[in-house]
Structure 1
Amino acid sequence: MKFLIIGGTGLIGSKVSQELQNAGHTVLAASTSSGINAITGEGLDAAFDGTDVVLDLINSATFEDEPVMDFFRTASANLVRAGKKADIGHYIVLSIVGNDLMQNIGYMKAKKVQEDTVKLSGIPYTIVRSTQFHEFVPTLTSIATQGTVVHLSTLDFQPIAAADVASLIARFALEEPANTIIDIAGPDRKGMDLFADDYLKAVNDQRTVIANNDRVYIAAPVPQSALVPAGEAYTGKTSFSQWLDSNAAKN
């Protein structure tokens, strides 16, 4: 089978590409450096030619409301056009758990537009909504830091390792289109503040986490359980403590 990965050189895309190649499949890891541009449409028709499955793992370089909306709206429209022209049999999108519950956040609103563009395209699809990655916890902790104190909400949190995200996406890519939304998450669920505390202890950081019940995620109010699956979900195999053991020293 031939797989086209849009965003194929990114954190998730590069891992998915390796997994599919290891399984003996043909993979084209698309990026602007390879002459394939989802925003301008450059190189898309040639890239889609002969492709069985397209994986849309593209991400925006900005989180500002208008630019991020323009990015996902334009990219999705161009990719769907090329996909329909090539009669793609399966279109996979990597999205975010709970984005429909957080439409007050510009990035989440843009991801919902991305999802809807694919759902309404007529192309067989699978939308994979992931929780936040383990790899994002250090950044989340940094954003919430004031001096030596980290102010974080007790919002429900269930992050997943990027490697597990890639493995699950590669698995879905080899299956029939679900034509629905699939949630994926890590094996551990607890307050967001507790993940930050675990991270700081693992790297011997002396900052102190002060928990609050403000239900704020990166300066935006969200429902208590918006960031975790509401029902059944596929779970990654890597616990946060296991990920810390392997990666804390790198952060």
Structure 2
Amino acid sequence: MKIVIIGGTGLIGTQLGALLQQRGHTVVAAAPSTGVNTLTGQGLDAAMQGAQVVVDASNSPSFEAEAVMHFFDTSTRNITRAAAAAGVRHGVALSIVGVDQPPGNAYFHAKLAQERLLRESGLPYTIVRATQFHEFIGTIADSYTRDGVVHAPSAGIQTIASADVASALADTALGAPLNGWREIGGPQRMGIDALLRDYLAAVGDPRTVRTDDSAGYFGAPVRASTLQTREGAWIAPTPWQAWLTRRTQTA
């Protein structure tokens, strides 16, 4: 089976492509560096020819409100148009747990628009909503840092290893379309503040974490359960502590 991975050279796309190739499938890693530009449409029609599945694991180069909305709106319209024209039978999009729980931030609004466009495209589809990745905890710590102190809320988070996300996407891509969404998340639930304390201590970062429930999440208020999966979600096998230990041992 031929599977097109939009964002196929990124963190998730690279791992997903390797998994699908190991299972005997033909993979097209679609990205600007491979001649496929979802914003302009360049290379999309050629990439989709003969494909049965398209997986959108792409990300916006900018998180600024107008830019991120433009990216997901334009790219999703181009992807679904090209996929429909090529007779693709399953469109899969990687989204975010909590994206539909207001109030959201600009990035969440743009991801919701992406979901809506896929639902309305006429393609059989599955949306995979994942919790935050283990790999991005350092970036989150930086986003909360003011004057050398990390101001983080106690709201719960349930991070997941990117390798587990790729595995879940591979199973989804090879399965029947749900015409709906599924949630996936890591096996542990922790407060964001506690998680960041773990991370900073493990990597030898001297910053102090101060619990501040007004800090929100990337500029938006966050409820206790916004960033955690709901009942019926697929729970990934890689615990936070095991991943963190491997990360520090290989750093």
Q: TM-score, normalised by structure 2?
A: 0.96
Partner of 1:230: 230
In 2, distance between residues paired with 1:140 and 1:250?
21
Displacement of 1:250 in angstroms is: 6.0
Q: Could you report, residue by residue, the CA deviation over 1:94-149 in whole angstroms, capped at 9, with x for unpaired residues?
A: 00111111454111100000000011111110000000000111111122123442
Partner of 2:170: 170
Q: Is the CA contact 1:7–1:31 (under 8 Å) kept in the aligned structure 2? A: yes
For residues 4-83 of structure 1, the aligned pairs below 5 Å read 4-83=4-83
The two structures, once aligned, show a CA RMSD in angstroms of 1.4
For residues 142-181 of structure 1, the aligned pairs below 5 Å read 142-181=142-181
Displacement of 1:215 in angstroms is: 6.0
In 2, distance between residues paired with 1:79 and 1:148?
42
Displacement of 1:35 in angstroms is: 1.3
Partner of 1:245: 245
Report how many aligned residue pairs link the two structures. 251
Displacement of 1:221 in angstroms is: 1.1
Q: Is the CA contact 1:3–1:52 (under 8 Å) kept in the aligned structure 2? A: yes
Displacement of 1:171 in angstroms is: 1.0
The residue type paired with residue 237 of structure 1 is P
Partner of 2:91: 91
Shift >3 Å, 4+ stretches? none
Q: TM-score, normalised by structure 1?
A: 0.96
In 2, distance between residues paired with 1:199 and 1:222?
21
In 1, distance between residues paired with 2:22 and 2:68?
33
Displacement of 1:170 in angstroms is: 0.6
Seen in structure 2, the aligned counterparts of structure 1 residues 249 and 102 have a Cα distance that, compared at 3 Å, is farther
For residues 169-248 of structure 1, the aligned pairs below 5 Å read 169-214=169-214, 216-248=216-248
Q: Could you report, residue by residue, the CA deviation over 1:11-61 in whole angstroms, capped at 9, with x for unpaired residues?
A: 000000000011111101111122111110111111111001100111101
Q: Could you report, residue by residue, the CA deviation over 1:210-240 in whole angstroms, capped at 9, with x for unpaired residues?
A: 1123261123212221111132211111111
Q: Which runs of 5+ in 2 are unaligned?
A: none
In 2, distance between residues paired with 1:143 and 1:215?
10
Q: Is the CA contact 2:5–2:28 (under 8 Å) kept in the aligned structure 1? A: yes
Q: Is the CA contact 2:144–2:215 (under 8 Å) kept in the aligned structure 1? A: no
Of all paired residues, the percent bearing the same amino acid is 46
Q: Which runs of 5+ in 1 are unaligned?
A: none
The residue type paired with residue 115 of structure 1 is E
In 2, distance between residues paired with 1:148 and 1:72?
34
Displacement of 1:163 in angstroms is: 0.6
